[in-house]
Structure 1
Amino acid sequence: MSTPHSAPPSPPSSPPGASGAEGEPRHAGWLELFFDLVFVAFVAQLSHGLHGDPGWREFGVFLGLYFPPWWMWANLTVSANLFQDDSARRRLAMLSAMLCLAVMAAAVPEADGDRGPAYALGYAGTRLVLLALWWPATRFPAPGRIPRWRPLTYCLLSALLWAGSAAVPAPWRYPVWAGLLLAEMVLLLTARGRGIPRRVHTGHLVERVGLFVIIVLGESVLGLITSTDHTWTVQAGVVAAIGFVLLAALWWSYFDFASTAAERVIGTASAREAYLLARDVGGFLHFFVTAAVISMAAGLATAVDDSAHDHLARGTVWALAGGLAAYHAAHALIGLRFGRPAREVAVWAVPGVVVPLLVVLGSDVLAPWLVVLLLAAEAIAHLLYAKAAMARRAEGVTG
Structure 2
Amino acid sequence: MGTPQPGAGAEADGAGHPQEGRHADWLELFFDLVFVALAAQLSHGLHGDPSLRDFAVFLGLYFPPWWLWINLMVSANLFADDRPRRRLLMLSAMLCIAVMACAVPGADTDRGSVYALGYAGTRLVLLGLWWPATRYPEPLRVPRWRPLSYCLASGLLWAASAAVPAPWQYVVWAVLIAAEMALLLSARGRGLPARLDTGHIVERVGLFVIIVLGESVIALVTSADHVWTPRAGAVGVLGFVLLAALWWSYFDFGSTSAELMLARADDRRAYLLARDVGGFLHFFVTAGVLCMAAGLATAVEEADHAHLPTGAVWVLAGGLALYHAAHAGIALRYGRSPAAVAVWAVPGIGVPLLVVWAAGHLAPWLVVFLLAAEAIAHLLYARKLQRHRIAAAATP
Q: Provide TM-score, normalisation by structure 1.
A: 0.95
- 1:19 Cα offset (Å): 4.3
- 1:209 Cα offset (Å): 0.6
1:16 is matched with 14
Answer with 128-137 or 82-91: which moved more: 82-91
Contact 1:199 1:272 survives alignment (8 Å): no
Matches within 5 A, 1:72-111: 72-111=68-107
- 1:392 Cα offset (Å): 0.6
Cα distance in 2 between the residues matched to 1:19 and 1:95: 27
Is 1:52 matched with 2:48?
yes
Counterpart of 1:227 in 2: which secondary structure? helix
2:225 is matched with 229
2:137 is matched with 141
Q: Residue 209 of structure 2 is aligned with which of 193, 209, 213?
A: 213
Is 1:191 matched with 2:187?
yes
Deviations 1:213-246 (A, max 9, x none): 0000000000000001120000000000000000
Contact 2:162 2:169 survives alignment (8 Å): yes
Is 1:162 matched with 2:158?
yes
1:389 is matched with 385
Is 1:249 matched with 2:245?
yes
CA RMSD of aligned residues (A): 1.0
- 1:146 Cα offset (Å): 1.1
1:11 is matched with none
1:398 is matched with 394
Cα distance in 1 between the residues matched to 2:59 and 2:105: 13
Counterpart of 2:163 in 1: which secondary structure? coil
Q: Residue 366 of structure 1 is aligned with which of 362, 365, 373?
A: 362
1:27 is matched with 23
Identity of matched residues, %: 71
1:273 is matched with 269
- 1:20 Cα offset (Å): 4.4
Contact 2:224 2:301 survives alignment (8 Å): yes
2:327 is matched with 331
Cα distance in 2 between the residues matched to 1:198 and 1:272: 12
Cα distance in 1 between the residues matched to 2:292 and 2:319: 5
Deviations 1:182-239 (A, max 9, x none): 0000000011110013321122111111110000000000000000112000000000
Cα distance in 2 between the residues matched to 1:168 and 1:82: 35
Counterpart of 2:226 in 1: which secondary structure? coil
Contact 1:332 1:349 survives alignment (8 Å): yes
1:9 is matched with none
Q: Residue 288 of structure 1 is aligned with which of 284, 293, 299?
A: 284
Cα distance in 2 between the residues matched to 1:307 and 1:247: 18
Cα distance in 2 between the residues matched to 1:235 and 1:369: 7
Contact 2:15 2:137 survives alignment (8 Å): no
Cα distance in 2 between the residues matched to 1:294 and 1:279: 22
Cα distance in 1 between the residues matched to 2:105 and 2:16: 40
Q: Provide TM-score, normalisation by structure 2.
A: 0.95
Cα distance in 2 between the residues matched to 1:351 and 1:278: 27
Matches within 5 A, 1:106-145: 106-145=102-141
- 1:365 Cα offset (Å): 0.2
Q: Structure 1 residues 84, 238: CA separation in 2 closer, same or farther (over 3 Å shift)?
A: same
Q: Residue 349 of structure 2 is aligned with which of 346, 353, 360?
A: 353
Is 1:70 matched with 2:66?
yes
Answer with 180-189 or 199-208: which moved more: 199-208
Cα distance in 2 between the residues matched to 1:93 and 1:124: 14
Deviations 1:14-40 (A, max 9, x none): 64275445xx44110000000001000
Answer with 198-207 or 229-238: which moved more: 198-207
- 1:372 Cα offset (Å): 0.2
Which residue type is aligned with residue 214 of structure 2? G
Deviations 1:47-78 (A, max 9, x none): 00000000110000000000111001000111
Counterpart of 1:193 in 2: which secondary structure? coil
- 1:142 Cα offset (Å): 2.0
Contact 2:133 2:141 survives alignment (8 Å): yes
Deviations 1:359-397 (A, max 9, x none): 000000000000000000000000000000011111111
Deviating 4+ runs (over 3 angstroms): 17-21
Which residue type is aligned with residue 14 of structure 2? P
Matches within 5 A, 1:253-264: 253-264=249-260
Cα distance in 2 between the residues matched to 1:372 and 1:154: 43
Is 1:375 matched with 2:394?
no
